[in-house]
Structure 1
Amino acid sequence: MEDRTKSQEADPAATHTDTRSAAPGSSHPPSTGPSGSSPANTTGFDFNQPTIIALCYLGSFVTGISGLVGIVLAHVWQGENREGWAASHFTYLIRTFWIGFAASLVALVLSFVLIGFLLYPIIAVWVGIRSVMSLIKAQRREPIADPNTLAF
């Protein structure tokens, strides 16, 4: 017990190091943007609005319900959009949901003649690819080239 007290007295800074202001593995404090806000994330994963919506769509493959959260967010955030590149993402993601939903209804009706069961995997792949494409471009903050297309 005395050894620990002596070592603390010898070097008090070693026992009171504040690591909250430094990024992990860095000796520099994190930088902030104007008004103390966080700057745009250029090195990590950016949770911007189109990214969150795309993740909700992808999460619906597991949960089955998060796609509904994604479409509600897309419609709400589309009206609040302040970033030019994101406008095309909202259109693209909203169309992805509604076209996928309509195609699923058609597949449901066609399931009575056993054709619809073949459409479900195709619809899932289509929605998945479009969601991933939007996710990738949203991370780069790039607009979707043609948000009204049915292709990817």
Structure 2
Amino acid sequence: MTDTSTPPAVQPASGDLDGAKLVYILYFISFVVGITGIAGLIVAYLKRGSASAVAASHYTWQIRTFWIGLLYSVLGLISMFILIGWLILVATVVWFLVRSIKGFLAAGEGRAIENVDTWMW
């Protein structure tokens, strides 16, 4: 008797993206407790070197999200005296959330980030 069942779909290792998901969660929490964003950045730097290609794309995305977000935030703070700073800060929050949500959803599906070098989303 032969087995005619189809093999299960190949899934990424269950723990492969757990670190990346942790960093996304720390980034989300950073809107309430700011220091968790720095903790997430440290985790991303520590795990990127030994990660698979899929996970490494998430860590690179997260690291770039942190530093670009910090740059936009500083520009917003500097330009607050001419009132455009508030718009820059609001846009930065939206940008940061979109990138974090996009990355978290991709990590949940086991997909790599397609264009990690973009400054947008």
| TM-score, reference length from structure 1 | 0.67
1:63 equivalent to 2:33? Answer yes
Q: Is the 8 A contact 2:76 2:86 kept in 1?
A: yes
Comparing both chains, which one has the higher relative contact order based on Cα–Cα distances under 8 Å and sequence gaps of 6 or more?
A: 2
1:4-53 alpha-carbon deviations (Å, 9 max, x no partner): xxxxxxxxxxxxxxxxxxxxxxxxxxxxxxxxxxx737xxxx97111111
**Aligned counterparts, 1:131-142, within 5 A:** 131-142=100-111
Q: What is the total number of aligned residue pairs between the two structures? A: 109
> What is the match of residue 93 of structure 1?
62
Structure 2, gaps ≥5 residues long: 1-12
Match among 79, 87, 90 for residue 110 of structure 1: 79
**Aligned counterparts, 1:67-82, within 5 A:** 67-81=37-51
Q: Is the 8 A contact 2:54 2:112 kept in 1?
A: yes
Percent pairwise identity: 34
When residues 47 and 89 of structure 1 are mapped into structure 2, their CA distance, relative to the original with a 3 A threshold, is closer
Instruction: Please give the alpha-carbon distance, in whole angstroms, between the structure 1 residues aligned to 2:110 and 2:100.
Output: 15
Q: Is the 8 A contact 2:17 2:110 kept in 1?
A: no
Structure 1, gaps ≥5 residues long: 1-38
Structure with larger Rg = 1
> What is the match of residue 10 of structure 2?
none
When residues 146 and 132 of structure 1 are mapped into structure 2, their CA distance, relative to the original with a 3 A threshold, is same
Instruction: Please give the alpha-carbon distance, in whole angstroms, between the structure 2 residues aligned to 1:108 and 1:139.
Output: 34
> What is the match of residue 49 of structure 1?
19
Instruction: Please give the alpha-carbon distance, in whole angstroms, between the structure 2 residues aligned to 1:124 and 1:54.
Output: 14
| TM-score, reference length from structure 2 | 0.83
